[in-house]
């Protein structure tokens, strides 16, 4: 019987466990490549400098309010884009040592200008570490964490840094997270709930909103459902994710 606590808690436990472990066991971290993460730093913040002591001057007499029209405001400064420019691949180098070919491929197009590439690599490696921990604890939860995007960068990190977990990403691509799924997103087949809560419920509707199937589970144990070819809408709440077991015959 599956433990009924929330799958999200497993992800949080993974992060806490990894923080305690410190380094990656996959051997792909920046330290393994000789890259050292420098102390956090950033651009200097503009601000007033220390004032120079001066002799107090006599207060100036009050003046009449200005009557001239204020100057027209200039055009606003362009807003910084969310992505921003990236460091060219031939300029991605660690502070010390070298990156492996696989690490450089992962970093290509991911390092913002001015950022330490070792820090970006560390983020990807932490994703691999989370998956490694979760798959040992509960494989369904690991797949669900990818399907629900609790680990949003998993596909890229797996492809570039820990391809041994590619099967998790492939399975997550055919899973359903909680929510409403309609139209082309529906794939007929048999599905099981991954790490459901004690408030798991689902409903399958056909043409015209006709209910084809529905159910609830207050036990926190995995349940199986079949999405038929006639389904038009599938809604899930509190079930975390549904993993595919096979296509409908």
Average pLDDT for the chain? 76
Answer for the pair 118, 94: CB distance below 8 angstroms, yes or no: yes
What pLDDT is stored for residue 220 in this prediction?
86
R_g of the chain, CA atoms, integer Å? 27
Quote the CA–CA distance of 223 and 159 in Å, as a whole number.
31
What pLDDT is stored for residue 95 in this prediction?
81
Structure tokens at 31: 């330290």
Quote the CA–CA distance of 203 and 218 in Å, as a whole number.
15
Quote the CA–CA distance of 153 and 132 in Å, as a whole number.
14
Structure tokens at 229: 């070819």
Give the pLDDT confidence of 20-46 residue by residue, as tens digits: 554 444 444 444 444 433 333 333 333
Quote the CA–CA distance of 117 and 98 in Å, as a whole number.
11
pTM: 0.65
Give the pLDDT confidence of 60-111 residue by residue, as tens digits: 544 444 444 434 433 333 333 236 788 888 788 888 888 888 898 899 888 9
Structure tokens at 185: 């997103």
Handedness of CA 109, 111, 112, 114 (dihedral sign): negative
Give the pLDDT confidence of 160-196 residue by residue, as tens digits: 999 999 999 999 999 999 999 998 889 999 999 988 9
Q: For residue 37, give Cα distances in angstroms to 14, 81, 158, 169.
A: 22, 26, 22, 29
């Amino acid at each position: 019987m599956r433990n009924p606590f929330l799958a999200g808690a497993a992800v949080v436990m993974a992060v806490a466990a990894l923080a305690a472990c410190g380094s990656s066991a996959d051997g792909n971290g920046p330290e393994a490549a000789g890259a050292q993460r420098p102390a956090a730093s950033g651009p200097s913040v503009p601000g007033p400098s220390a004032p120079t002591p001066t002799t107090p001057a006599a207060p100036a007499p009050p003046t009449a309010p200005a009557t001239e029209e204020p100057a027209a405001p200039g055009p606003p400064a362009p807003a910084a884009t969310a992505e921003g420019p990236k460091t060219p691949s031939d300029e991605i180098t660690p502070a010390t040592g070298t990156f492996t070919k696989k690490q450089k491929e992962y970093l290509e197009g991911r390092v913002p200008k001015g950022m330490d590439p070792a820090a970006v690599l560390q983020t990807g490696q932490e994703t691999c570490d989370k998956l490694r921990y979760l798959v040992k604890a509960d494989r369904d939860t690991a797949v669900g964490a990818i399907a629900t995007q609790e680990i949003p960068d998993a596909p890229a990190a797996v492809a570039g840094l820990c391809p041994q977990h590619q099967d998790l990403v492939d399975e997550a691509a055919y899973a359903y997270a909680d929510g409403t799924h309609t139209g082309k997103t529906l794939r007929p087949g048999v599905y099981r709930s991954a790490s459901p809560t004690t408030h798991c419920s689902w409903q399958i509707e056909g043409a015209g909103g006709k209910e084809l199937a529905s159910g609830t589970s207050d036990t926190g144990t995995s349940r199986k459902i079949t999405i038929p070819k006639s389904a038009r809408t599938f809604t899930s709440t509190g079930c975390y994710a549904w993993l595919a077991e096979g296509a409908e015959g």
